[in-house]
Structure 1
Amino acid sequence: MEAPRKETGFDRAAAITRSLLGYGVLAGVFYVTLGLGQAFMRDGFDLSRHSLSLLANGPWGWVQTLNFAVTGLMVLAASVGIARALRPARLALTLVAIYGGSLIVAGVFPADPMDGFPPGAPTGAADEMSTAGFVHLAAGGIGFVALAAAFVALGASFAARGHTTMARSSRLSAAVLLLAFLAGAATATSILGVVLLWIAVLVGWGWLATTSVALYRAVPHPDLHRRPQTP
């Protein structure tokens, strides 16, 4: 009996999908690494009291603005990769893309200086919220809600494909992210509020990365000769 032959060639579509999904992993690493790097280098910044959004203020604020913009573009790329891997997945694409867009908007409109940062800013919250500060806060709220909803949509897609563990984890991540964000936003000027916001951020990035890796592995290898041999 003749042995099955392996196909040769390159699947460009699979390669593109895998590349786009890679940004779902890189986005969170890039954002958190660059943010923490600034946090330890900027005078007056205290991780126990200040959110990374405040880094967009002051002489070096452009670095955090760039952080938001580049990270947002990575998330937009990942949203396309997710949609290609889970086709059809328009809802997940739209929701993850909204989160990416919210990051870009949050970078263009910085948070108001507060609680002593940058140096010279008033203690506690600003007496009046600026237009930029309001847009930044609204973008953050819309973005986190969209990301939580995206996790629910992804959970449904995983469930439909029989991946029960991924489905449950997606829904759990959505609940933790949303609750932590809402509670953190309500207590943003306290240490607890900062901790809760960090939980929301890390859960969001962590599950986006986990989902991207899972889908990356599910996409067939672009080199056809490296795919499992079919009878």
Structure 2
Amino acid sequence: MTTITAPATTPSRVSSRTLLTCAAVASPLWAAVSLAQAFTREGFDLTRHPLSQLSTGDLGWLQITNFLVGGLLTIAGSFGLRRVLDSTWAPRLVLVNGVGMAAAGVFRMDPADGFPVGTPDGIPSTMSWHSVLHMVCGSIAFAVLIAACYVLGRMYSRAGNRRFAAASRVAGTAALLGNLWAMTGGAAGSLTLAVGVITAMLWISVVAVARAGAGWERIEG
């Protein structure tokens, strides 16, 4: 009697290509879903309402899901970036950004300034606990995203890639200025915030695509 023994198997490791794909997809997906809602949901005005406000109302679950999916994809992508970049801090900052995004989905903003439809105009005098936590998580996510862009700029400078170094710094500066303008109550602050943050987010995706296309060689920096 012949005994057939099944070959031993070992747990498969998630490939770098898969993780980098997560990083590449996260930002365009989040931006597309957010902007599609911004232009179609009744009463939403991107010059007055931050994209996080889309988490409120009957259709708020769409943006909540968007934050959770985008955050999880960014977290996964950070591990791919850690494999292909010799920068210690850039992947860590991207990881924290992903955690902040997911947390911003868990803790939603309060209705405000006429959105959803039927909400009184103006900002509420008090915020709920989950709205406060949303603001904290969002602020952390923005801060580390900006830092990640500047760290990548330094890394690319050391590697001699001036084009990517400049683009990294431009993306980080766009997010920084967008945040500062919104914080100071500048005209159309929510719009400038959205433009700046989405620019920085998309740059992280570009870096992931570039590293995947380069065969995952590590960059010294």
Task: Out of 120-129 and 157-166, give the one that drifted further.
Answer: 157-166
**Kindly tell me: are residues 114 and 73 of structure 1, through their superposed partners in 2, closer, same or farther at Cα, counting changes over 3 Å?**
same
1:3 corresponding residue in structure 2: none
Higher relative contact order (CA 8 A, sep 6+): 1
Contact map agreement 1:18 1:219 (CA 8 A) in 2: no
Question: What is the aligned residue count?
Answer: 206
Q: Where in structure 2 are the equivalents of 1:49-60 lying within 5 Å? A: 49-60=48-59
- Relative to 1, partners in 2 of residues 1:183 and 1:85: Cα closer, same or farther, differing over 3 Å? same
> 1:107-146 maps to which residues of 2 (within 5 A)?
107-146=105-144
- TM-superposition CA deviations, 1:97-152 (whole Å, max 9, x none): 11101111111111121111112222111111221111111111111110111112
The CA RMSD measured in Å over matched residues stands at 2.1
Cα 1:164/1:125, change in 2 over 3 Å: same
CA distance in 1, matches of 2:150, 2:143: 11
Contact 1:185 1:197 in 2 (8 A): no
Checking the alignment, whether the CA contact within 8 Å between 1:106 and 1:139 is kept in structure 2 is yes
Distance 1:28 1:201 in 2: 10
* 2:34 alignment partner in structure 1: 35
Query: Cα–Cα, structure 1 residues 71 and 128, in superposed 2: closer, same or farther, change >3 Å?
Result: same
- Equivalent residue, structure 1, for 2:19: 20
CA distance in 2, matches of 1:150, 1:70: 20
Is contact 2:64-2:106 (8 Å) kept?
A: yes
User: Aligned residue for 1:183?
Assistant: 181
- Cα displacement string for residues 164-197 of structure 1 (whole angstroms, at most 9, x for unaligned residues): 221222123212211211212332xx65202211
Counterpart Cα distance in 1 of 2:73 and 2:184: 29
Distance 1:209 1:62 in 2: 25
What does residue 192 of structure 1 align with?
Answer: 188
Aligned residue for 1:150? 148
Taking only the aligned residue pairs, the percentage that are identical comes to: 36
Letter in 2 for 1:105: A
2:204 counterpart of 1:204: no
